[in-house]
Amino acid sequence: MGKRNIVVIDEDKCNGCGLCVSACVEGAIQLVDGKAKLVSDTYCDGLGACLGECPQDAITIEQREAVDFDEKAAKEHIARTQETKHAHGQIEKACGCPGANAKTIDRSIQNRKRPAGESVPSALTNWPVQINLVPVNAPYLKGADLLISADCAPFAFADFHTKLLPGKILLIGCPKLDDANVYVEKLGHIFANSGVKSVTIVRMEVPCCGGLTQIIKQALAISGANIPVTEVTVGISGDIIGERRIDTVLV
């Protein structure tokens, strides 16, 4: 045993997205109780392939006393893990967290002309949608028209899927109950690196929901991106009661 590079995971920053689990080919990181954990120093080569995958910057490398990396043991560990997944029918689900399984949903067939009386199909084309779970490098963010909605709004506005969502990538969150600083940092990274074309904010009329607009203003300010922003306000009664272009320059 001697000093060497080893991965350190800040559990307070970790949101359990699982991207580091997929990035670690040695199987040294696993999700335990919703948090990424280094399961054994033996399996960690200290090269840090997982660092660039963490949207929360929760992973660093430090030098400390640790047992040597054992490539053979790591391969055997991976083989045992795969056998366990096969046995439980989970081989296609390496991580149960939706944030590690970003996908685009093709609605072209569903959105064909529908017979009278047929249910209105979903207009959702991306998964996941919760801001905390969305990987900052999700392919559906590239060049997207974003619809960033307070999580209450789709319940209040019955025509959300037909009037607001078509043609847009959906992200949702609660500006009152969620960590605004995390949202500012994550959205700022997305705005700076994904070539987002436009942002439509959907908020409720209640005052606390105005925090969503402020989060997006701050995220745009730190990103340096020039993106047009429209704010749509939904009333508690379920109607759209306001729509405006907003100034994204912080004062």
Specify the pLDDT at position 223: 94
**Helices within 93-200 (DSSP H only):** 153-156, 180-193
Domain residue ranges in the chain: 2-98, 102-111+120-245
Specify the pLDDT at position 67: 93
pTM for this model (two decimals): 0.63
**115 Cβ contact partners less than 8 Å away, ≥ 6 residues apart:** none
Q: Specify whether domain 102-111+120-245 bears CATH 1.20.120.
A: no
Specify the pLDDT at position 133: 86
The CATH architecture to which 2-98 belongs is: 2-Layer Sandwich (3.30)
pLDDT digits (tens, 9 = 90+) for 119-150: 778 999 999 999 988 888 888 999 999 999 99
- Taking residue 96's Cβ as centre, other Cβ atoms within 10 Å add up to 12
Least Cα distance to 150 among 213, 98, 202, 77 occurs for 202
Token code pair at residue 35:
């948090």
Specify the pLDDT at position 90: 45
Which of the residues in the chain have pLDDT under 50? 88-96, 98, 250-251
Beta bridge partners of 64: 4
Specify the pLDDT at position 93: 42
Specify the pLDDT at position 102: 72
Interior CA angle at 25 toward 22 and 26, to 5°?
Answer: 125
Specify the pLDDT at position 197: 97
